[in-house]
């Protein structure tokens, strides 16, 4: 039995789907099972990282765990989960982490995940860390301005980022959960090509069959937009420096990890744009 936390999110749903396709028994932990909308083959349990007394029930009878949590309490969350997992006899935890800058410019998101990584390792349970870069699905945040203005606004300038399809992140995690040889390894993941926002917008324009304009904006304008959208201040404070890292050109490295682990090429932004084009039109 494999426990998937964060099972109703972008990556978590893909992990569940691919585990089922591999013939695995899956338990999904979610705050609200009634709204999970997962495959009927999945055992859904109520659990919450912020309610650590619910974690023992979630890991009971489980031998492997996919751990996905986010925020400044990541270290505490994953320490609580790993401790309960160890008591329950879990032998392997695959943690979703993040790349998040380089040694000199680690952003807050990367530091949160670093605390989570260390918390899991401290328990002595077998572990694998999966560190993706930016998600291709982040482009869905552009839907509003594409629909209303035909424009995409970003403070990434002309910097390039090799964004990754969430399906590829899940594929690496599932391989680590279901096959041998992955314990004690950290997999840093990117997509197959570094693209600027302008280049992504051009690809989306082609997929949608309509012209979309890319509008570079300064950091202060980006901050105001995030605040208007209701984004938490701590997340904004993490994302603004990351934009500077992307503009510097240091985020453009393409890594071959997806193909090495899964045996197939990573999906491209063209693939993602064609698959999700309808979501920009609804």
Mean pLDDT score across all residues of the chain: 94
Q: Element (H or E) spanning 76, and its range?
A: helix 74-88
Q: What is the pLDDT of residue 48?
A: 93
DSSP 230: T
Q: Sorting pLDDT into bands at 50, 70 and 90, what band is 142?
A: very high
Q: Sorting pLDDT into bands at 50, 70 and 90, what band is 105?
A: low
Q: What is the pLDDT of residue 166?
A: 97
pTM for the model: 0.94
Q: Are strands 195-196 and 160-161 parallel, antiparallel or unpaired?
A: antiparallel
Q: Nearest-CA neighbor of 85 among 114, 58, 122, 112?
A: 58
CATH topology classification for 2-132+166-189+255-266: Rossmann fold (3.40.50)
Q: What is the pLDDT of residue 262?
A: 97
Between the two ends of the chain, the Cα-to-Cα distance in Å is 38
Distance (Å, whole) CA 268 – CA 234: 31
Distance (Å, whole) CA 42 – CA 38: 7
Distance (Å, whole) CA 187 – CA 41: 29
Domain ranges of the chain: 2-132+166-189+255-266
pLDDT digits 0-9 by tens, 146-188 = 999 999 999 999 999 999 999 999 999 999 999 999 999 999 9
Q: What is the pLDDT of residue 238?
A: 82
Examine the pLDDT at 104 and tell me if it is beyond 80: no
Distance (Å, whole) CA 270 – CA 282: 20
Q: What is the pLDDT of residue 107?
A: 73
**CA 244 to the chain's CA centroid:** 21
């Amino acid at each position: 039995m494999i426990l998937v936390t964060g099972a109703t999110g972008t990556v978590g749903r893909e992990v569940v789907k691919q585990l089922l396709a591999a013939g695995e028994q899956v338990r999904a932990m979610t705050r609200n099972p009634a709204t999970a909308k997962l495959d009927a083959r999945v055992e859904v349990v109520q659990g919450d990282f912020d309610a650590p007394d619910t974690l023992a029930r979630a890991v009971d009878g489980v031998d492997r765990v996919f751990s996905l949590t986010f925020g400044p309490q990541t270290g505490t969350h994953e320490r609580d989960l790993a401790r309960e997992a160890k008591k329950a006899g879990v032998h392997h935890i695959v943690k979703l982490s993040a790349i998040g800058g380089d040694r000199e410019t680690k952003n807050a998101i990367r530091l949160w995940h670093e605390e989570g990584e260390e918390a899991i390792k401290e328990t002595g349970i077998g572990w694998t860390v999966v560190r993706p870069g930016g998600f291709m699905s982040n482009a869905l945040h552009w839907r509003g301005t594409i629909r209303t203005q035909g424009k995409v606004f970003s403070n990434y300038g002309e910097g390039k980022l090799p964004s990754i399809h969430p399906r590829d992140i899940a594929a690496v995690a599932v391989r680590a959960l279901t096959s041998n040889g992955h314990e004690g390894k950290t997999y840093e993941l990117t997509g197959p090509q570094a693209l600027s926002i302008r280049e992504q917008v051009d690809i989306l324009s082609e997929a949608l069959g309509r012209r979309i304009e890319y509008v570079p904006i300064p950091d202060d304008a980006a901050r105001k937009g995030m605040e208007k959208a209701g984004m938490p201040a701590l997340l904004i404070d993490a994302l603004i420096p990351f934009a500077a890292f992307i503009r510097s050109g240091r985020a453009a490295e393409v890594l071959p990890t997806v193909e090495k682990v899964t045996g197939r090429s990573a999906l491209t932004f063209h693939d993602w744009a064609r698959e999700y084009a309808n979501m920009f039109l609804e």
